[in-house]
Amino acid sequence: MAYRKVLHDGDETLRKTSKPVVDFDQNLWTLLDDMAETMKKSDGAGLAAVQVGVLKRAFVMQAGKDKVLRECINPKILKEEGENKIKVEGCLSVPGKCGIVERPEKVWVEYQDRNGKLISNKKLTGFEAKCFCHEFDHLNGILYIDKATEMFDDRDEYNRKRKK
């Protein structure tokens, strides 16, 4: 496993649409392992392949109560429901900033694992649903700042304004 450089807002690669994964091979497994290591070392909850310069429809995330590492290849959102109570969002590609983004409370999703096995109609809730939606947007060239209704220079500014 190796740490990979995370691209930052302003890099045109982040605005491109990722291509479906067709080969479930050692190259994909190395990418997923490297992404997981990069996400953890960067203290993130998720990381899309495009964020490390690879235009493949794949992301890793480690969110939710059980903190299980999910490797999501060729993901789809099948259904959304409700309004997520967690509003503030950040991103490894937009360091130091955070913003208010509306996301669904529940999503039903489908994706393939590293071996190509289809996981279908998986229900995610709360922070895990928010994280999936955030990473899914990356695969379509969308950053959370495109959807944010309010932006903050850092978490301290967000916390100060929230207390008012």
80, 128, 135, 150: the catalytic one is 135
CA distances (Å), origin 20, targets 65, 66, 76, 86: 29, 28, 11, 30
What gap in Å lies between CA 130 and CA 99, rounded to an integer?
Answer: 13
- 135 assigned to active site: yes
Token duo for residue 101: 């983004």
Q: Which residues, 6 or more positions from 22, have their beta carbon under 8 angstroms from its beta carbon?
A: none
Phi, psi (degrees; rounded to nearest 5) at 22: -115, -25
Catalytic residues: 135
